[in-house]
Amino acid sequence: MRVIAATNRGGLDDTISPVFGRCPTFTVVDVEDGRIVSHEVVQNPYAGAMGGAGIQAAQLVINRGAQAVLAGSFGPNAANVLSQGGVQMIQAQGTVEEQAIEAAAGRLTPATAPAAGGFVGGMGMGRGMGRGMGRGMGRGMGMMAPPPPPPPPGGPAPDPSGLAEELRKLTSKLDEISARLDRLEKGER
């Protein structure tokens, strides 16, 4: 199963981004038989878009063959595109590795398109497309809600042995990348 996670810097050890359309990166994860067989980090070219970031990011995810997508929340436009593309939206937090395996195993509950977070607009009580909730007179200026608070930091404090192991893995990965960069600079493959 191909699961794509909205991420901040990308990778299996990264946490899932609280936003979908404007996340900096996507981590594409292929899960088979309960284990990750491949992953790839893809930059989100739409993170800084003036408008339509969610729609374009959703199309990117569909084009990459996602069967499920993980993010903290989905805007209404992105949710509509993903829903029409047959991609399950799963509101999640935590690491990409854990959540991708859980999603592939069907242990996470997919969000429904209208409840996927964000505000779904409509006609208010005024003359236009405003929300009709104040003195905006239908111009979309009444009772603007503050943004939702960020999700609370997850779980108990990590144990030192776990952090030491994570540091060892990251150091090993950095050594691999340095060696690969050296080979590429020398013209080797």
Q: Tell me the C-alpha distance between 15 and 23, whole Å.
A: 11
* Whether domain 1-119 has CATH 3.40.50.150: no
* Inter-residue contact 29 to 4 (CB < 8 Å): yes
Ranges of H-type helices in the chain: 53-63, 76-84, 96-104, 160-185
Angle between helices 76-84 and 53-63 (to 10 degrees): 20
* Inter-residue contact 14 to 27 (CB < 8 Å): yes
pLDDT tens, per residue, the chain with 189 residues = 999 999 999 999 999 999 999 999 999 999 999 999 999 999 999 999 888 999 999 999 999 999 999 999 999 999 999 999 999 999 999 999 999 999 999 999 888 754 444 433 444 444 444 444 455 445 555 555 666 666 666 555 556 777 788 888 888 888 988 888 888 888 876
What residue spans define the domains of the chain?
A: 1-119, 155-189
What angle is formed at CA 74 by the lines to CA 70 and CA 79, rounded to 5 degrees?
A: 100
